[in-house]
Amino acid sequence: MAAAPDRLYVDGRSFDAASVRKTFEEFGAVVFKGGLERDAVDGYARALHRLALARLESLDQAPIRADDLDACGRQLFDLDPANLGDLFHIAREVREQYDLLFAPGMRRAIAALMPTAVVQVVPESCGIRMDSPNQDERGFHWHYDYAYIATSLDGVTGWAPILPLTEEMGWLRVLLGSHKRIHPIDVYERPTVAGTFVGHHIFSLHDADIDAFERDGVDIADVQPGDLLVLHCCLLHRSGRNRGDRARWTALCRFGNGLDPAIVKRGWRSVRDGGGARLFGELHPDLLHHVRATSG
């Protein structure tokens, strides 16, 4: 398996913006090591932990491990997946998410990669992910974020662990350089996988050579709390396959160029104004293929 180039990793506290921008334009990804203030990252994790404990208490459930966010989150999921969905929703609505979104280190990184005088943040596109062990069907297959959020075409996603990761828990896998074109997608009439948290299975890449993606893709290894992986919104990537004994908890922070002429012209419409498939199809009708799902 190919390793990510060393140039992909930069000192997040002291970097040359022009050099980092050049790397990002080539690869579509950059890792800012130690770029995020730990008080913002840890504060978000603590808030989620308190919320998970409060939800368990509301359900008259004693926490199996009251001191562990991962244990509390997975307990909520085991009781009813909808409970975890509730946690995901409130995660977008707490002050601590905004502390992370607008942390100084986050702002420095985004300004280097997407230089604009006005940054657009769509709250509906931000939040958290919890990827449990051995639940590959609930992970993201190969995709790119623009198809889901439809902000500016130079938009970016910040991927930031909020709890420590190990190799067994799976790193994000990316196809470097794939951000230089918009890939056509299939949109299904209903999700191709049954269950909860499978909205992403409404989309898939059209006529994609997945074997080639797996062969040529690289894992972005050793990204830990305090680090920030930034992806171009059109970069192809997929979730890592978790083979550990803990879930992978990450914050997703998405930003667009509020002055991009195309998004200004449409009144800054994005995923907040309706389903991503509908808006993507409106913007790129030649790239959207409708498919009738045969499984579910």
Of the options 3.30.70.20, 3.40.50.150, 2.60.120.620, 2.40.40.20, the CATH number for the domain spanning 6-37+116-291: 2.60.120.620
Question: Which of residues 204 and 73 earns the better pLDDT score?
Answer: 73
Show the tokens assigned to 149.
């959020």
pLDDT in tens, 139-176: 678 999 999 888 999 999 999 999 999 999 999 999 99
Domain-wise residue ranges, the chain = 6-37+116-291
Q: What is the mean pLDDT of the chain?
A: 91
Residues for the chain: how many in total? 296
Q: What percent of the chain has pLDDT over 90?
A: 76
| Residue 237, helix vs strand vs coil | strand
At residue 278, the pLDDT reads 78
> Kind and range of the H or E element at 249?
strand 248-257
- Calculate mean pLDDT across residues 235-256: 94
Instruction: For 136-169, give the DSSP string.
Output: GGGS--SB-THHHH---TT-EEEEEESS---GGG
pLDDT band of residue 200 (cuts 50, 70, 90) is: low
At residue 296, the pLDDT reads 46
Q: How far apart are CA 249 and CA 53, in angstroms?
A: 16
- Of the listed ranges 47-56, 248-257, 266-275, the least confidently predicted one is 266-275
pLDDT band of residue 135 (cuts 50, 70, 90) is: confident
- Calculate mean pLDDT across residues 262-279: 82
The answer to whether residue 8 scores a pLDDT higher than 60 is yes
pLDDT in tens, 79-123: 999 999 999 999 999 999 999 999 999 999 999 999 999 999 988
The answer to whether residue 3 scores a pLDDT higher than 90 is no
Q: Which residues pair with 276 in a beta bridge?
A: none
CB atoms within 10 A of CB 176: 20
- Calculate mean pLDDT across residues 223-235: 98
pLDDT band of residue 33 (cuts 50, 70, 90) is: very high
The answer to whether residue 45 scores a pLDDT higher than 70 is yes
> Which residues have C-beta within 8 Å of that of residue 65, sequence separation ≥ 6?
71, 72
Nearest to 270 by CA among 254, 289, 291, 247: 254
